[in-house]
Structure 1
Amino acid sequence: MPVAQRRRKAILQMEKLRKKGAAIAPVRIEGRQIARTFWGKAWCEHLEKFSDYENRLPRGRTYVRNGAVCHLEIRKGEVWAKVMGSHLYEVQVKVKTLPEDRWKTVKERCGGKVASLLDLLRGRLSERVMEVVTDRDSGLFPRPKEISLACSCPDWAEMCKHVAGVLYGVGARLDERPELLFLLRGVDHKELVGSAQAGSVIARGKKGGKHKKLADGDLGEVFGIELAAPPRKAHSARGGRRTARRLGRRGR
């Protein structure tokens, strides 16, 4: 299908969805560069490092550049998208949340090195912190084995061009809202700043030679904030492992 025709179809489909009351968040690329900021570029470059993806991703660049990704939503552990091809296809990308021990290691290695939340989100980080968060095996970005892909198109390849377009679309979306990477991996980005501040307070406390447990009120005074009561743990109503299912496929 010619690019101009696909673009027109994508615009018409988005209008139809909006009229039905759907909150549509299309991916819009200006120029040839898909991602421009630290977080967006880091996402794209990370995926391109893996041989599993290197031959399949390029097909998605054309799709995302030409406005074929009509809707893209990032949630905890998954990305949902609608992509215009011969038809409007649904794409689901599941991403495992960051293991607790891996997140703990990232926080420890970044301790005291992230100046502020604003610096974190804008990618104004030291070379050392950049190395930690972008590390291929132990950083924030998912490895291929932590990602599962599905598309409703008739192409049975695990990564079709619609899925590839969505993966690049995530990079473009991180340009606008970098905090969504942390949501996707199931961690709180504010902890990278908070852990650094807490670490310095704990270090100063140890120098005093007294190991005293602080009450919530004392912690509030240390950090200059009012602490809310800790939330209770929610018990999952779902039992056992949920079986992943392939999205329903439509004909060409």
Structure 2
Amino acid sequence: GGGARGLRGGGRGRDVSASAAQPRAPRSMAAPDRDGDLRRTFAALPPREAADEGFAGTWWGNAWVTALEEGALDAARLERGRGYAERGHVDAITVTPGLVLAYVQGSRARPYRVQVRLRTLGDADWDRFLDAAVERPGHIAALLDKELPHSLADLADHGVPLLPGPGDLTPQCSCPDSGHPCKHAAALCYQTARLLDADPFVLLLLRGRGERELLDALSRRNATRAARAAQDRGPAPLPGVRAGEALTPRALPPLPPPLPAPPHPEQPPAYPAAPGGPDPFALDQLATDAAARAHALLTTGRDPVGGLTLWQDAVRLAAARPGSGLTAGTRTLYASLASAAGRDTAELARAVAAWRQGGPEGLDVLEEPWDPPAGRFDRARPLLLAADLPAFR
């Protein structure tokens, strides 16, 4: 005995008599980092004030309590277990398929390890449950709202006992009490009813399926059911009229008058610059020009530049650029337009000057050679020379 105490003290002379007299309570079972779809841990519920009404607040929570109370052999133990639950003697609760596990503080210093088992459902049972759930659209919506519809839970006639019945809950406790159930197991069952009140997926997990797995399965079955229903319905009939009615001569109502044209073209939106993208100023100029042409077509019925050649239109666009001369800002535009028309920048600059003087006719004067006929011009040449004016060309 002394050797054992010396080993427990670690050779530091620590007094171990106090720890021997007061055994250390086990660690809480709450381990959220270990939780997953098939394991959920719930923190200890706060104490609950005793009331005359039922311990649970939902019909399925009360069904769980009924299964506990109708399968119990001693009402006194149930009453003491209910008192333990109401006073918060149940520590964190862990729920896995077929098992509820927790530590319950009894009359001794060290709490007892309590578990309650419930039979899980087989694959065939889950198939029947899922089929029933997708029969009505409200079932899935109710589950997502943490509600358990009566029609979904009452599947006992189909061999799917979702809710436990009397004797279905199998308790086991580390206490020496051999009651069925003992007061500690009863306390855990009462607290589990409060968990079921808040989330019916706890009951479904006890029966063997996690929330995520169930919702995924319901989503797949719902999509399959909807696709099958759409295929069975076939295509909707197309609307139609009788042939005689369609061919009967009739007077059509007059078209509504056209909307008034806007007083002037609107400004185009601002185009942001992007690496490797088009020049935003060039885009703005093209959009502004297109708006002006559309406005002219709308108000006059003709496009003022619709008959221009490619070269004439390139000169027109370049001439519309504000400013004069080949500045740094216009060189890119001039080079692009000249290249598209198969000319060089110098030719385009001369053409722009002619266009600004006389429009298309000014461009014709620049580019079309003109040999005036003999007559007045021939008689004018010597008179011009006599007046010391420059040679006439």
TM-score, with structure 2 as normaliser:
0.41
Does residue 119 (structure 1) correspond to residue 142 (structure 2)? The answer is yes
Q: How does 1:153-172 map to 2 (within 5 A)?
A: 153-172=175-194
Closer/same/farther in 2, CA of residues 46 and 195 from structure 1, 3 Å limit: farther
Counterpart for residue 303 of structure 2: none
Closer/same/farther in 2, CA of residues 202 and 148 from structure 1, 3 Å limit: same
CA displacement at 1:86 relative to structure 2: 1.8
Counterpart for residue 27 of structure 1: 45
User: How many residue pairs are counted as aligned between the two chains?
Assistant: 194
Q: 1:95 aligns with which of 118, 136, 139?
A: 118
Does residue 195 (structure 1) correspond to residue 249 (structure 2)? The answer is no
> In 1, are the aligned partners of 2:45 and 2:88 still within 8 Å (CA)?
yes
> In 2, are the aligned partners of 1:113 and 1:196 still within 8 Å (CA)?
no
Closer/same/farther in 2, CA of residues 65 and 52 from structure 1, 3 Å limit: closer
> In 2, are the aligned partners of 1:64 and 1:168 still within 8 Å (CA)?
yes
> In 2, are the aligned partners of 1:43 and 1:171 still within 8 Å (CA)?
yes
Q: Tell me the SS of whatever aligns to 1:104.
A: helix
Counterpart for residue 60 of structure 1: 81
Q: 1:73 aligns with which of 77, 90, 94?
A: 94
My pick for the range that moved more, 185-194 or 160-169, is 185-194
> In 2, are the aligned partners of 1:26 and 1:71 still within 8 Å (CA)?
yes
Q: Distance in 1 between matches of 2:55 and 2:116?
A: 19
Q: Distance in 1 between matches of 2:82 and 2:151?
A: 30
Closer/same/farther in 2, CA of residues 98 and 137 from structure 1, 3 Å limit: same
Counterpart for residue 84 of structure 1: 105
Q: Distance in 2 between matches of 1:118 and 1:14?
A: 47
Q: Tell me the SS of whatever aligns to 1:73.
A: strand
Q: 2:205 aligns with which of 155, 158, 183?
A: 183
CA displacement at 1:162 relative to structure 2: 0.5
Q: Tell me the SS of whatever aligns to 2:138.
A: coil
Q: 2:231 aligns with which of 191, 194, 205?
A: 205
Does residue 128 (structure 1) correspond to residue 151 (structure 2)? The answer is yes
TM-score, with structure 1 as normaliser:
0.61
Root-mean-square deviation (CA, aligned residues, Å) is: 3.7
Q: 1:106-149 deviations in whole A, cap 9, x for unaligned? A: 222333224364521535565533533x8797331234565432
> In 1, are the aligned partners of 2:139 and 2:149 still within 8 Å (CA)?
no
Q: Tell me the SS of whatever aligns to 2:203.
A: helix
Closer/same/farther in 2, CA of residues 14 and 63 from structure 1, 3 Å limit: farther
Task: Give the AA of the match of 2:230.
Answer: R
Q: 1:52-100 deviations in whole A, cap 9, x for unaligned? A: 5684644421111111112211112211110010231000122221122
Q: Tell me the SS of whatever aligns to 2:91.
A: strand
User: Whose relative contact order is higher, 1 or 2, with alpha carbons under 8 Å and at least 6 apart?
Assistant: 1
Identical aligned pairs, as a percentage? 31
